[in-house]
Structure 1
């Protein structure tokens, strides 16, 4: 009986220590898990690039399962098109790709042509301004929306008026000659400072004055110079779009202006 009692006691001790084995297995599994996770996160960029390109070529190929070709697995697939051999379908796909490439190339060429026209226009106007010492009256800037030609109100109009001064007609005539070869929309925009009209004027406020001034420039181009009216638009913004600080006399003078913007756009 004593011998049986001693064996039973040792077995109980063994049961108490078995949790260490389970714990060790758990730690080992966790270590393996984190090693695998780390290895997965470290992707070979070169191999990944090769794999990506290979998949793209496979799925973009005209010789695919949907076209009745061999597909990814190399086995024949069912043709879902209305008949035609593999060579005919491949030829049609190639022609479609060439057609899309031609369209893209034509649009790119049109865009480059227009950009060159705008660059030439800006260069000619800058030379004209420098030659005629008009730096304080006329400025030209390349903006995201197009080539902006800004003319001072003092150069174009008398105070509070919208009738063009005789001295400005030569410059407007030069611009008109340049606009004849430009195949895009030209926007004429009138601007004023924020001071109310208090002097003798037939215009009620700055809205009317700015619109009338823009319209006078437009009329010169389409009535006097006979430019195509379909290529023009005009607007009066009053004092809502200042280019300088209206709290100073110099700033208000800059704000009283007419902007002629040769828009950067492609015509259909």
Structure 2
């Protein structure tokens, strides 16, 4: 009877699977590398500049950190961070860059608000609040000047006391690249026959023209910057039911028109 041959079963070496650990570490490192690269490519331009400046400032004041008192960046002409091509619009995929029209509109609004602030300060400093008011309307910045401030009753010749205010407006108008609309308004009282003007239409138009003439002849502004209109009593700001309200309606309105609407 044959003896069954006994085969020795060699123990399986566990060392041949150690490469899996190294492979897993490599995959992990590659993943981290690509995540970092993706983050860098999407970096916010403002945050990039801010971080870069902060690091430069920190290292610039790091003298004495190394031997012989040399700072980290002393004698080097290299920035702390590499100069990567940064696309500011890529920081937020949902944020679209402003169009040229949007940029022009923003600049226009800044100029109009600055103009409004200067006029308001002038009116306050010269105690003209009862005669002059400024409002921001859809059409533009509107300056209301009462007829008592500008004219005598039923007339269209400018009073001398109104000239400093008109000079101030003229100096500001010259800096604006937009159209100024000069509009005359009256109350609803009928003009008596035999006067200089036939009706409120003529009176309101004559007053608007008188203001325009001042800007052209005295302030030396280009006539093409202006447009004028006389509305008579058709555009009241208050009911014509009292002396006070009629006074509010007798006015000249100058509107710095918005070239662009939002």
Q: Same fold (TM over 0.5)?
A: yes
Aligned equivalent of 1:160: 154
Q: Deviations over 1:185-229 (max 9, x none)?
A: 100000000001128630011000000000000111112211111
Aligned equivalent of 2:217: 223
Aligned to 2:238, which of 235, 244, 259?
244
Matched, 1:127 2:121: yes
Aligned equivalent of 1:150: 144
Aligned equivalent of 1:257: 251
Q: Deviations over 1:43-71 (max 9, x none)?
A: xxxxxxxxxxxxxxxxxxxxxxxxxxxxx
SS of 2:99's partner is helix
TM-score by length of 2: 0.61
* Whole-angstrom distance in 1 between the partners of 2:178 and 2:213: 18
User: Structure 1 stretch 147-156 or stretch 195-204: which is displaced more?
Assistant: 195-204
* Whole-angstrom distance in 1 between the partners of 2:224 and 2:204: 21
Q: After the TM superposition, which residues 1-150 of structure 1 pair with which residues of structure 2 at under 5 Å, given as runs?
A: 105-150=99-144
Q: How many residues matched?
A: 166
8 Å contact 1:213–1:258 — kept in the other structure?
Answer: yes
* Whole-angstrom distance in 2 between the partners of 1:200 and 1:155: 25
Q: After the TM superposition, which residues 190-229 of structure 1 pair with which residues of structure 2 at under 5 Å, given as runs?
A: 190-198=184-192, 201-229=195-223
Q: CA RMSD in A?
A: 1.7
SS of 1:189's partner is strand
Q: Deviations over 1:100-151 (max 9, x none)?
A: x98x622111111110000001100100010000011000000011000000
Q: Deviations over 1:232-260 (max 9, x none)?
A: 00000000000011011100000000000
TM-score by length of 1: 0.60
8 Å contact 1:197–1:206 — kept in the other structure?
Answer: yes
8 Å contact 1:161–1:201 — kept in the other structure?
Answer: no
**Structure 1: runs of 5+ lacking an equivalent:** 1-100
